[in-house]
Chains A and B, each alone.
Chain A
Amino acid sequence: MEIIKYLIYRFIAFIGVIIFGVTIVFFIPRFSPTDPVENYLNSILSGQGGGIDGAAIEEMRTNLTILFGLEEDYFTQYIKFITKFISSGDFGPSFSAYPTTVNSLISQALPWTLGLLLVSTIAAWLIGNFIGLIVGFKEGKIYSSLLEFIAMLVYPIPYYILGLLLLIFFGYILNIFPMNATFMYKTFSIDALIRLVMISAMPALSIIIISIGWWVISMKAMSVNTKKEEFVLFAKLMGIKEKKIMFSYVLPNSLLPQITVLALQFGTMFNGAFLTEILFSYPGLGNLMYTAVLAGDYNLIIGTVTLSIIAVATATFFVDFVYPFIDPRIKYK
């Protein structure tokens, strides 16, 4: 029953965090010094070259104010916003791609981001922790120190810097992977699959390489500490084979905390993935947000920002939910 209570608490916290995040997203624009309506009008007018007359501008201003939901006082606006959000999750039309809705744009972009993140994160976590285990367990061996050194070299490099380097090297110099990531295929085919892999390769690689560095270092520290634990020392005295100790004694006890660590990292990884997407023009949520900002597409900005908050919060709390069922120390209580 303890577990049920825990799950309920975490779920309430989850909803709370999302509402908190959405509230922030709601209020930030309203406290900005610039009026988003004026901003948007200015960017349209400067683009059109002033060929619109005064009355039309006024009409646009009124319409935009209504569309942006800015005509009533804050409280009413907020209630409207929340109810619209909860009931339909509709963010309205995109201004730069009118009349395509924000939701449809997001639903096209989201799978790309999810795919990239999931694959990169899981691959990096698995590979990184495995290497980290070896580095920590076989501390002192040459290959162990070498691997650790490489990880240390790679880890501090920011994602986009590595992305830049990969872009220059594999894209510009070697010309293996495409330098821009346009994807024209509408239906599934082998060509589409190949293209998908080609444009995903460099973004995924930059995320994976750096994340691996991080996991290797943290898992190494974890394994080294676990190795000193009483139960590992006793296992040695029991004459249990080294391989068994590494995989059944050190690994599980070091890996479980790493799952918790993973939950805390989602925000950071998302940040990194976003920048990588923008750098490679990868058709995901990050890139969508960026183009929205450049175009001043207010609805799209709100939509993408809100969704990224939901995505990260969901991932974080998902691990919270699942963890008690994985750790035997908690599962059997």
Chain B
Amino acid sequence: MIQTSNLSATYSPNKIPLKVLDNINLSIEEDTILGIAGESGSGKTTLLKILYGNIQGSLQILNGNIKYNINEFYANIPDDIDAVQKQWWRLLSYIPQESMSVLNPVRKIKNQFYDSSITEKYTHKNNLYLDLSDYFNSLHLEESILNSYPHQLSGGMRQRVVIALATFHSPKYIFADEVTTALDVIIQKEILLLLKKIQRTMGNTIVFVSHDMGVHYQISDKLAILYAGEIVEISETQKLFSNPLHPYSKLLIESLPQIGETILRSGISGNSLVNTPEKACTFAEKCPKVMDKCRTQKPSLKSIRSNIQVSCFLYED
């Protein structure tokens, strides 16, 4: 289990601190796929980085903490960032955006595997190689890929190689950032099925960030909606789609095109944490159900029913 409590973070690209996440309370359980949805700028990639322990440069934790409890590994961010980072490619792994260009151009694929801590568990490279080729086969990747260079592979193949890299050592938590964004729909479907299969087989947790609601529908068991750096709703995916509670979730889901539709879609203009005053709901300006209360007080995440949490005054009675 990974649990965040009142997590807030700032980021200072021009030396001026901007708050990018506010009061995040999230429980990430085992053996599930948790989706994090939101538009660009909502803070979802930042949240993923922080959960992975990739906190550097001007990114800083302002408030709150993250507790890790995985297979007798206990740690706490921000106190034990080093301990969490030591778990990179052991209990934790990360699949970045732009998987096309994350492989070393002058290194054979197998060597990139050997470079990581995976090799520590093996006495002979040969055994590792055999296991790798078995794993590749199970992912429908040819063994020859192991001896190739990245530029010899197609974009889709490289994507799958990166997924193999991130999952081969059976991590417990896999953090995936916009994994399907750059792909065409057909490859996208394959990758999603692949990820789902890996999760179901290995019984690990995938934290899946994407702005694409359609993708979440296909893969996420549970879905957290992020708006302007705050979680506005968390629910089981099916329930969320059939009955979205928060006005923003509603707009998001309604924005999904359905086959046979003829209605024109309208976009939802975004917002960031920077622009809203401390004591107001960040969605107040754009909310179709806004009340006076929303402009003077900030709602917080509350459990409505089992497994459903919403942050909205509409449900606070």
Interface residues of A (CB under 8 A from B): 229-231, 233-235, 237-240, 244, 248-249, 252-253, 256, 327-329, 332-333
* B interface bracket (residues with beta carbon within 8 Å of A): 20 to 34
CA distance A83 to B115 in the complex (A): 58
Are B115 and A329 closer than 8 Å at their CB atoms? no
Question: Which of the residues A230, A237, A248, A328 comes within 8 Å of B54, measured between beta carbons?
Answer: A237
Contact present for B152 and A239 (CB under 8 Å): no
Q: Looking at the complex, which one of A230, A237, A332 makes contact with B88 (CB distance below 8 Å)?
A: A237
Instruction: Report the stretch among B93-101, B132-140, B195-203, B301-309 that lies at the interface.
Output: B93-101
Flag if B101 contacts A231 (CB, 8 Å): yes
Q: A237-B88, A332-B148 are in contact. List 14 more A-B contacts (CB 8 A).
A: A230-B98, A230-B102, A231-B103, A234-B96, A238-B115, A239-B88, A239-B89, A239-B90, A240-B116, A252-B107, A253-B105, A328-B105, A328-B106, A333-B152
Residues of A contacting B127 with CB < 8 Å? Answer: none
Most chain B CB atoms below 10 A, which of A230, A237, A256, A332: A237
- B88 near A253 with CB under 8 A, answer no
| CA–CA, A230 and B103, complex, Å | 8
Contacts of B52 in A (CB 8 A): 237
Q: Which of A229, A231, A234 has its CB near the most chain B CB atoms (within 10 A)? A: A234
Most buried by A among B90, B96, B107, B165: B107
Least Cβ–Cβ distance between A18 and chain B, in angstroms: 33
* Alpha-carbon distance A256/B89, docked complex (angstroms): 29
Closest to A240 in B: B115
CB contacts (< 8 Å) of A328 on chain B: these are 105-106, 149
A238 touches B116 (CB 8 A): yes
Which residue of A233, A237, A238, A253 is within 8 Å of B106 (Cβ)?
A: A253
Say yes or no: B102 contacts A249, CB within 8 Å. no
| A253 pairs with B104, CB closer than 8 A | yes
9 example contacts (A-B, Cβ-Cβ < 8 A) are as follows A231-B102, A234-B102, A235-B104, A237-B88, A239-B90, A248-B111, A256-B106, A328-B106, A333-B152
B residues in contact with A252, CB < 8 Å: 106-107
How many cross-chain pairs have Cβ atoms below 8 Å apart between A and B?
A: 64
Instruction: Report the minimal beta-carbon distance from A201 to chain B, rounded to whole angstroms.
Output: 37
Min CB distance, A3 to chain B, in Å?
A: 15
**CB of B297 closer than 8 Å to a CB of A:** no
Q: State in angstroms the CA–CA spacing of A333 and B107 once bound together.
A: 15
B85 CB, nearest partner CB in chain A, Å: 7
Minimum CB–CB distance from A250 to chain B (whole Å) comes to 10
Q: Decide if B58 is an interface residue (CB 8 Å cutoff).
A: no
Does the CB pair A239–B116 fall under 8 Å? yes
Main secondary structure of the interface of A (DSSP, over half): helix
Q: How far is the CA of A229 from the CA of B105 in the complex (A)?
A: 11
In the complex, A256→B98 CA distance in Å? 24
Chain A min CB distance to B195 (Å): 18
A230: chain B residues at CB < 8 Å are: 96, 98, 101-102
In the complex, B293 has a CB within 8 A of chain A: no
Given A237-B54, A237-B96: A332 and B152 within 8 A (CB)? yes
Which residues from A are CB-within-8-Å of B152? 332-333
- Tell me, rounded to whole Å, the shortest Cβ–Cβ distance linking B177 to chain A: 10
Closest A residue to B96 by beta carbon equals: A234
Q: Find chain A residues with CB under 8 A from B106 CB.
A: 252-253, 256, 327-329
Asked if A332 and B149 sit within 8 Å, CB to CB, the answer is yes
| B105 and A235 within 8 A (CB) | no
Q: Does B250 contact A (CB under 8 A)?
A: no
> Would you call B151 an interface residue if the criterion is a C-beta within 8 Å of the partner chain's C-beta atoms?
yes
Q: Is B117 an interface residue (CB 8 A)?
A: yes
Task: Give the nearest-CB partner of A239 in chain B.
Answer: B88
Contacts of B102 in A (CB 8 A): 230-231, 233-234
The 3 A-B pairs of least Cβ separation, nearest first, read A239-B88, A234-B102, A239-B89
B54 → A minimal CB distance (Å):
6
Q: Nearest A residue to B111 by beta-carbon distance? A: A248
Known: A230-B96, A244-B115, A332-B152. A238 touches B88 (CB 8 A): yes
Nearest Cβ in chain B — how far from A236, in angstroms? 8
Contacts of B96 in A (CB 8 A): 230, 233-234, 237
Q: Which residue of A lies closest to B116 (CB)?
A: A238
Contacts of A248 in B (CB 8 A): 104, 107, 111, 115
Q: Residue of A at shortest CB range from B87?
A: A239
Residues in B with CB closer than 8 Å to A237 are 52, 54, 88, 94, 96
**A255: nearest residue on chain B (CB-CB)?**
B106
Cα–Cα distance between A329 and B151 once the two chains are bound (Å) = 7
CA distance A332 to B106 in the complex (A): 11
Q: List, in ascending order, chain B residues with CB within 8 A of A229's CB.
A: 101
Bound Cα distance from A198 to B210, whole angstroms: 68
Q: Which B residues from 144 to 172 make CB contacts under 8 A with A?
A: 148-149, 151-152, 165
Q: Known: A244-B115, A248-B107. Is A238-B165 also a contact (CB below 8 A)? A: yes
A231 is contacted by which of B88, B89, B94, B104 (Cβ under 8 Å)? B104
Instruction: Report Cα–Cα, A238/B90, bound state, in Å.
Output: 9
CA distance A24 to B121 in the complex (A): 66
- A62→B180 CA distance, assembly (Å): 84
Whole-angstrom distance between the alpha carbons of A277 and B96 in the complex?
A: 55
Q: What per-residue 1/0 map shows which CB atoms of B63-106 lie under 8 Å from chain A?
A: 00000000000000000000001101110011010100111111
The chain A residue with its CB closest to the CB of B97 is A230
Q: Which residue on B lies nearest to A330, using beta carbons?
A: B151
Q: Which residues of B contact A256 (CB under 8 A)?
A: 106
Assembled-state Cα–Cα distance A221/B86 (Å): 30
Measured between C-beta atoms, what is the minimum distance from B91 to chain A in Å? Answer: 11
Among B54, B85, B104, the residue within 8 A (CB) of A249 is B104
Write out, one digit per residue, whether chain B residues 243-269 have a CB within 8 A of any chain A CB (1) or not (0). Answer: 000000000000000000000000000
Instruction: Give bound CA distance, A233 to B98, whole Å.
Output: 12
**Contact (A329, B149) CB under 8 Å given A237-B54, A237-B96, A253-B105:** yes
